[in-house]
Structure 1
C-alpha cells in the first residue's frame, strides 16, 4: 500500500508499506509531514505498483468547453517520489498507448468542464496498462519541456484562458517536435543521504545554450525553511540523445560555489546507460542509488586545490618566497615529488600531494598512487576554472580554506599547516545533523535510551531527519522544544553515559 497526504504533492510525506510492522509509526510520520507542509493531516491509501513509469499529460481547457492536450511528459526519474529529471515526449512509449493516454486525459478534463492549465498524471505498469493518479490544477515545475517541444508559451495560454479567451489553437494545430530534458538542481548532499544543505552562495555561473530558471544568485542564500530546489536546467534538441548530451555538458559548466548540491549526482544520472536507453521506472534512482551518489573524488580535488595555490605565485619555482601560505613542506624532498609536496586536509583525511611536473597550462600531481594532470583554463573574479582528465573543476579560496567543485561535487580543503583542532563533543551529545525546525521530541529528562532510539526529529525543507542515540544512558538535558529553530551542529539532547557501549 502507499500512504500519501491528500492535500500534498511532490512526494512529501509519502510512505510505502509492504508489511504491517511499523504501520503506526509510518502513519504518524506521514500525518506530521502533511500537517506541517500542507496544513492538512488527512491521508490517501492507494495500491502500490512495482516499478511503474510516471507519465503525465499536459491539458488546457477554456470557458467555451474546449479541451486540448499538449502531449505527455516522462517523469519516472524520481528519488523518494520527488521528480529529478523530466522529459518530453515520453521515450519508448508505443503510439497506441500514447494515444489512449492523451485521450483519457482529455476526456477526464471534459467530463468535469475543466478550465485552466492542468496535468493529468498516470502510472504505467510493465504490461503498459495505465492508472490515473491525480490532477495538478496548475502549471508544474517541468512545464518548460512541453514549451520546448510544442513551441508554445504555456504561461501566456494560462493568462488568456483565465481572462475568458478561447484556446489559442485547436488540437490539430498543436505539434510535438524534437526532444527536451529538464533536471532539477537541489541544495542537498547526495553523499549524506540527500540531506538538505542550506547555505550562502559565493558564486553562481550558469551554462550557455540551455534554458535556465533559477532562484539563486551570487551573494544570495538558501534558507532551511523551504523546498531545496534552487534551479532547473532545460536542454532541447532534435533527438533525445542530443538533448541528454547537451544537458550533461551544461551541468559540467554550472558553478554553484558555497552550496552543496546534486550537480554531480545529476551528471552521473544523465551519463548512465540505463537512463540513456530509457530503461527507467520510478524506483530506478533509488534502486541504483550507490551508482549515482558522490564517488571518491577527494584525490583529484586535492590536486586541483594545490594547482590553484601554485597559480597564485608568478615565480616558476615553488620554493620562491612569494609562495602562497607556504603550502609546501620543504622537508619532504624525494624523487616522487621533484617540485615538492603539499599536505592538505580533505573531508577529515590528510592527503600528501606530490608535485611532479609543470605542464602547459597546469601541473602533474601524484596523490595516493594516482596521477592527476590538472589544467587551469582561467581565473575570473577570484574563481579558478579548469579540467582534470575529462572532469571540469572550479575553485574559490576564502581565508585558508579552498572550496573545489569537481565534476559537480563539492569538496572543502584546508592546507595542513592551517588546521586547528577543537575539543570533540562528548559521546552522548546528540546534535542537529542540519539546520531546521524541531518537529518532535519524544524524550524527556530522566528517560533511559538505547542506541538507535529517536531523540528528536528535525524538519528541513519539508523533509524529516531523525536524531538517534548512539549510546545507552539517561537523558540529562533537552535544549530545545518543538517548534524551535536549530542550526547544524547545535546540541539538542544530552545523554549521560551510564553504561559503556560494547566493543
Structure 2
C-alpha cells in the first residue's frame, strides 16, 4: 500500500522482487487502494454447452499479508440484491472469455455496496468447501463431469443456500513473530472430529519449508452464523497440533473477537489488532514437569528411599522447577495428580477437577495442549546453563527460518540504524526483513543474495555502533 509519492519507488522495488522470485515475471499492475474494504468473491461454474451460473459469494476479508485466513458464506455485508448484482457481473466476466469449469471472480466491496473487479482465479479455491457446505454440491465432481462434456446439474434458479459456513486455514506460522513461517516435525496431530477437516498430516510428519505454510483447513456449518462461528472456535480448541508453532489459538481468538462476531471485519481487521499469544501459567509448567517425571522414568523416581516424599529439580525452558511427589500427588506451585496416561493423553486432577491433557515427550521437549492453547517446554534439566540474552548480545544475526536470501543491505564497516533491514529473506512467497533493535556497526557479512539458509545459519556479525 503506497500512501505518498515518496514511498512509491521502494514499494515497487519490493513488489517486483517478490513477483520475480515467485512467478518469474516482475511486471506490476497498479490499482486504486480501497481501505476498509471487504474481499468478496463469487463462485462461478460454466459448462461447454453455454450454461454459466454462480453459487453465491464468500467473504475472505480476514487476511494477513493479503493472504486469506478466514472465509465465510454468506457474507455479513451482502444481501440478496447485492448478491444478484455481483453474481451477474461474475457470470458476465466468465461468459466474456468463453470460460468452462470452476472459477472464482474476486471483488473488493466498499461500505456503500460498490464493488470493484480484482481478478479471476481459473480453478477451485482453497475455500471451495465453504460453498459446498452451504449448497450441498460437490464442486470437485462438477469439475470432472463438466470436463467430460456434461451439462451443469442445476440452473441458476435452482441454486439454494442453507445456513452459514466458515473455514479457517491452519498454518505452521507464528502470529507472535509477524506470522513467520515454521517448519519441522508435527509431534502430535489430532484434528477435531466435529467439523470438516482437510489435511494430509499425521503425527511425526514433517512440515517442509518449501511450500505454503497451510497445513490443514477446518470448515464448520451451522444454521446461523453464530452457531457456525462458535462450533469452529470450539473445534480449534479441540484440535491437537503439537511440536511446532501454529496459528490455531490465534484463529480461535479471531472467531471470538467482538468485531468479527458482529460481522464487521474488513481487510484491515488484523492490521488494527494484536492478539496476545497464550502464555503458560504455573499450572502448565507443573503439569509438564509431572508428565515428564511420570513418562520419562527418571532414576530419581526409581531409587529406593524410606522417605514417603521424593523431589527432583527440572529446568523447562529457562524456568527452574522444584517438583515434589508425595502420596500420589505432585507439587510445583500447584498440586495435581496424574490419574492415568492413555497413549498420548493424560487424565489429571487439578484443583479438585479432572481434565484430559493431550501431550507428547519428543526430541527433548514436553509438548502439551490445554485450554485451547499449545505449549512446548524444552527440557534443560540435564544440560549446562545457557547464557541468557545470547540471541541479542553475542553480536550475531542468524536466520530465524528456512529461506532464500533475497537481498543484503549491509556491508562490512557500515553503520546500520535501528530497525533498518540488514538482510531480506524470502520464504513461502513472502519477504521478511531482518533488523536489529539498536544501531550497530557491521563487522562481517556471511551470505550473499541467492543463498539458501536454514534456522541458526550465521548471516552477519556486528558490534554496537
> Within the alignment, does 1:458 sit opposite 2:408 as a pair?
no
Is 2:451 aligned against 1:480?
Answer: no
Alignment of 1:233-252 (within 5 A): 233-252=218-237
Q: Give 1:260-275 correspondences, 5 Å limit.
A: 260-275=245-260
- Report how many residues are paired: 456
Match of residue 375 from structure 2? 411
2:85 is paired with a residue of what secondary structure? helix
| CA-CA distance at 1:387 after TM superposition | 9.3
Give 5+ residue unaligned stretches, structure 1: 1-15, 314-322, 328-337
Given the two structures, how large is their TM-score scaled by the length of structure 2?
0.87
Q: 1:102 aligns with which of 87, 94, 110?
A: 87
Say what the alpha-carbon RMSD is for the aligned residues: 3.2
What is the CA–CA distance in structure 2 between the aligned matches of 1:208 and 1:417, rounded to whole Å? 37
Q: What pairs up with 1:21-420 in 2 under 5 angstroms? A: 21-288=6-273, 290=274, 292-309=275-292, 311-312=294-295, 324=298, 326=300, 345=315, 347-350=317-320, 367=333, 378-380=341-343, 382-384=344-346, 393-398=357-362, 400-414=364-378, 417-420=381-384
Q: Residues 473, 249 of structure 1: CA spacing in aligned structure 2 closer, same or farther, 3 A cutoff?
A: closer
Partner residue in 2 for 1:332: none
Deviations 1:227-252 (A, max 9, x none): 10011011122222222222122212
1:432 corresponds to: 399
User: In the TM superposition, what whole-angstrom CA distance separates every residue of 1:51-108 from its partner, at most 9, and x where no partner exists?
Assistant: 1111111001112221101111111121221111111222353222222222222222
Are the aligned partners of 1:298 and 1:411 in contact in 2 as well (CA < 8 Å)? no
Task: Please report how far the alpha carbon of residue 391 of structure 1 lies from its aligned counterpart in structure 2 after TM superposition.
Answer: 9.2
- Relative to structure 2, which stretch is displaced further, 170-179 or 138-147? 170-179
Structure 1 contact 59–70 (Cα < 8 Å) conserved = yes
Helix, strand or coil for the counterpart of 2:22?
Answer: helix
Shift of 1:472: 5.0
Aligned counterparts of 2:169 and 2:348: Cα–Cα separation in 1: 24
Structure 1 residues 190, 469: closer, same or farther in 2, change over 3 A? closer
